[in-house]
Structure 1
Amino acid sequence: MKAISRDELVSHLLETGLAGRVATTREHNLRNFARFARRDPDVLFGLDPDGAWGEADVLALMARRCGVNPDPAHRHGVDTIDAELTADALGRLAAVLRRLAEARGSVLLGTGHPSRLQPMYAAYGRALRAAGCATLTPARERSFDMHGADGARPCALDYREQVGVLRVYEETASSNQKGAPRSLGEPVHTHSPQPVRIALAALAEQERTVPDLVLGDHGWACGAGRLGIRSVGFADSNDPAVFVAEEEGHVEVAIPLDDGLRPDCYRMLTAYVLQLAGLSQ
């Protein structure tokens, strides 16, 4: 396979909209920065920030680590992710994966983006498993009530591929009778740290050690990092928690990119990371 240069990667990021002028609007970004400053649980992703983090602080951090427009007077329209910052972060991710592979460590893969990012995580999992790493799948089929602003919804952890990327699935009752067995519906998008906490608790119940790395996004990255477990996370420009977690030392690497594009858009950046990590298959 032909090696991918950094320039080719950056061009791909800009052409696909993974970085550069992204689809996430300035209004959405600023709204989430304000919600983070108010400590809204839905945008904290399980993080309990050490610092004060007012709106201006969050904007300044996101300009520096993600590449959003630093001007507080820019309130509407297009916002940006700096493709060079994305490439830098992907290089740091590759270094983390290379060290993990050299140590033949264990990894827990989980995502709150059940359709868009799952194939990317599965590719990382396959490469790490081929290098001798253990890909962990604790709490498979574990039912729980996932709590959110709209109340609790019955869910379960599971995966549907050879290399397990844990996702949250909504549970559906097979009948209207109370106590009837439930089946899994579609995987759900979630910011919640509950899934990673449940997965880690299941490992503890089995008297197994915590993973050497959690690779994920949203609550998977921040929830694990807040518990002192090494984690890396992909994050959009409206996900300040992951970048705050990196700034405060809870998350090792936060990778800025648009996290809502077609799965095929992430193939080149995945190949680039695996190439740098020496894990290309």
Structure 2
Amino acid sequence: MLSTGALRAHLLAARLAGPVATTREESLRSYRLFAAGDPRALLGLDPEPGWGERELLHLMADRCGVSADPAHVSGPDLIDPERTLAALRAFAERLGAAAAAREPVLFGTGHPHRLLEFYASLARALSAAGCVVLTPAQGARIDVATRFGVRTHCLDYVRGVALVRAPGARPPGSATGAHTHSPLPVRIALEALAEGAGPLPQLVIGDHGWVCGAGQLGVDAIGLADTDDPAVFVGEAEGRVAVAVPVDDGVRADYYRPLTRYLLDRASLPGAQEWP
């Protein structure tokens, strides 16, 4: 089993925790947008009243380890590796429970360039444990807000993980897609399942709008979140998100492999031995 000490060292060396590439300016901007009710920061969450910038800063200091000092306004942001490790343990416990109960699971990411392999490895392990990995509404068209305005994207699945891509940008099944914060993909996927004969997910695993959108609709959800994703941690604080793991969500894809191994080890799922 990958030791906690070895994983802590990797988190710091790969800048998954400790001083991260996400800047303080980016994080504070997200807190301002969230406090103002901007959908770009809410990620599909309908939060309870009272989440001002000060409250968000204190929550993120508690959940991630960022500085609680409002006068700290520049430089790299900070994630406490101990908080990451504690959240990974809770994440692994939920994975193990899903495997033991053979729960239907839905995976989705707004970071396909970075996190697709991470989620796909978990999907493969849960499938091998007897869970149904759901792939509803494949090919559905979704109007997603982007910095260039509203653009139509298609919902696709790669190795059991949902993502969106511009129509015609890549053939279906290609291991690339668009970065998005939108909760629309998970809403459309869940609506398709509700209207069909298949099972509904008992767990959604993902990030951004996937985890917040699912949690808002009452589906158990766990996922990764950066310091500029306050919605995921607010969702956790309000009981809508089961586990939010504080981690930089934009490093190289292979840097997440030790996290995969650690999670599979702790959850007693197949596949851990495949990761160095």
TM range (shorter): over 0.9
Deviation at 1:126, TM superposition (A): 0.6
Query: What residue number does 1:201 align with?
Result: 191
1:28-39 aligned within 5 A: 28-39=26-37
Please tell me whether residue 165 in structure 1 is matched to residue 161 in structure 2: yes
**Aligned letter for 1:88?**
A
| Structure 1 stretches lacking a partner, 5+ long | 174-181
Q: Distance in 1 between matches of 2:112 and 2:49?
A: 31
Alignment check: 8 A CA contact 1:169 1:188 kept: yes
Residue of structure 2 equivalent to 1:176: none
Q: How far is 1:183 from its partner? A: 6.5
Q: Which amino acid aligns with 2:27?
A: N
Structure ID, larger Rg: 1
Q: 1:141 is matched with which residue: 139, 142, 162? A: 139
Is the contact made by 1:27 and 1:76 (CA closer than 8 Å) also made in structure 2? yes
> Sequence identity of aligned pairs in percent?
54
Match of 2:10 among 6, 9, 12: 12
Q: Which of 251, 259, 273 is matched with 1:269 structurally?
A: 259
Deviations 1:22-69 (A, max 9, x none): 011111111111111101100100000013100000000000001111
Alpha-carbon distance between aligned partners in 1 of 2:189 and 2:107, rounded to the nearest angstrom: 10
Would the aligned equivalents of 1:111 and 1:216 in 2 still touch at CA under 8 Å? yes
- Structure 2: gaps (5+ residues): 272-276
8 Å CA contact retained: 2:155, 2:185: yes
How do 1:1-281 residues align onto structure 2 when only pairs under 5 Å count?
Answer: 3-148=1-146, 150-160=148-158, 163-172=159-168, 187-281=177-271
Matched position secondary structure for 1:71: coil
Aligned 8 A contact 1:210 1:229 in 2: no
Q: Is the 8 A contact 1:90 1:273 kept in 2?
A: yes
Task: Compute the displacement of 1:208 (Å).
Answer: 3.0
Pick which of 138-147 and 101-110 moved more: 138-147
Q: Retained in 2: the 8 A contact 1:271–1:280?
A: no
CA distance in 2, matches of 1:57, 1:7: 32
Structure 1 length-normalised TM: 0.92
Query: How many residues align structurally?
Result: 269
Q: Distance in 1 between matches of 2:8 and 2:31?
A: 26
- How far apart are the structure 1 equivalents of 2:160 and 2:166? 18
